[in-house]
A and B are shown apart, each in its own frame.
Chain A
């Protein structure tokens, strides 16, 4: 088993468990590469990759760019704020114009759910979904899985809690699919307004009590409160959210066991997570960032190598 079953990475839902294992295994070898004195390999030197960010991003874009540079790929960057999208060009036209310049792979973030799936059967290039609306963010889920595996050894049978703003989070959905495919148990925790009602149909537990989730889990993935996506008020104040759903040292110390804390960033310090938790030795937040580059290198290497 050394090839992916798909030519695109649209979402975790669309790949199988073997694909996930292959990506995580390959990422391990790339993690060794990025810790060498010369952190670069020539694998993708004949590959051109376009980073199309129709929605703002800092860390995901930097992580992808760095991964591409370490694979020796040629890259072009595109951000919607300074582009022809403003002039009314359609998504397909924009992408086709870029592909006409002989681009082999597209990394795309878009605010509309399903944008990369829409493109997938219309273009030749490989597509990597770097986040589509509130739907999926597969590379984040894969780097989270990699980080958990690195820390805990195995995901099978592990209890993972995803805490906070589930409703607006693409990280949550991709993580649920990914963790389940790897055999982990998932519990969602947050205020009733931020956990959609149908979530149980995915086979996950839900709770409105953060303490219950932390008591149950081995790993807690704490999500950011996405104020920019919230059209109405889902909770009275940030202070109240922090009081009932924020994770602080006192809460962690009152648990019977030591759990691992993750966060996909950017952190709202003092809201969903306190500094005395985020910066503690229980937190693997910065490992997640480092692993992100290795995992994205693995994904691009595997997709680019699939030319048959």
Chain B
């Protein structure tokens, strides 16, 4: 098994800062926008994003919710494992809002497809944009595209992308992991 760091803690911080400025460029003062993190791992990234936005722009109030997509998955009763739901915590209506959906890794796109279904149960948003930290652009199963991307990588199916956060692991980093003896 081989692994390679594709974003270290310093680069990750720069990436998050860039994404924050890009989001603010579009949404100005968050008057009509909100951030929704996709459970479970997208929330860790969204937590960080919201924290940084709040730090960079202390005058803005940023509505922030967490969305669990377990009940909307398209592989329920088809996967070889059981799913356990995480908490959904959206205390405001999404009706006519500009929703900024946040996940850590965009891979097949199926999670985001499910998330779009789930979002509609909280009202009809004006529009929905997607922020991802890593875009594995070659493996999409459904036509889904992120508007804000931390880093785009080319990877194959047998490889894994793992995002580590200080909150749950020792340091912030993103790794590409492969079951091979050759160095990546």
Contacts and interface: CB of A to CB of B under 8 A. Distances in A.
Given A33-B71, A41-B71, A3 B87 contact: no
A37 B123 contact: yes
A41 B72 contact: yes
Chain A: interface size category: 20 to 34
Interface string B59-70: 000000000101
Given A36-B122, A41-B71, A29 B85 contact: yes
Contacts of A46: 77
B84 A43 contact: no
A306 B82 contact: yes
A36 B121 contact: yes
Given A304-B76, A306-B82, 18 more contacts: A3-B81, A3-B82, A22-B84, A29-B68, A32-B87, A32-B89, A36-B121, A36-B122, A37-B121, A38-B120, A40-B121, A41-B71, A41-B72, A42-B71, A47-B77, A305-B82, A305-B83, A307-B78
B71 A304 contact: no
B109 to A, nearest CB: 18
Contact of B80 (A4, A32, A308): A308
B81 A308 contact: yes
A210 interface: no
Centre residue among A4, A22, A40, A43 by max chain B CB count within 10 A: A43
B93 interface: yes
Contacts of B87: 29, 32
A201 interface: no
B127 interface: no
Contacts of A307: 77-78
Nearest to A3: B82
A2 B83 CA distance: 6
7 contacts: A3-B81, A3-B82, A25-B84, A29-B70, A41-B71, A305-B77, A305-B83
Contacts of A306: 82
B88 interface: yes
A43 B117 CA distance: 12
Sort A-B residue pairs by CB-CB distance and give the 3 closest, nearest first.
A3-B82, A41-B71, A2-B84
Given A43-B76, A46-B77, A37 B84 contact: no
A26 interface: yes
A128 interface: no
**B contact face: mostly helix, strand, loop, or mixed:** loop
B94 to A, nearest CB: 10
A262 interface: no
A270 B122 CA distance: 43
B68 A37 contact: no
A25 B87 CA distance: 10
A260 to B, nearest CB: 25
B71 A2 contact: no
Interface in A39-54: 40-43, 46-47
A133 to B, nearest CB: 31
Contact of A302 (B82, B93, B117, B122): B82
B86 interface: yes
Interface in B115-143: 117, 120-123
A304 to B, nearest CB: 6
Nearest to B90: A36
Interface string A230-257: 0000000000000000000000000000
Given A29-B87, A32-B88, A37-B123, A42 B82 contact: no
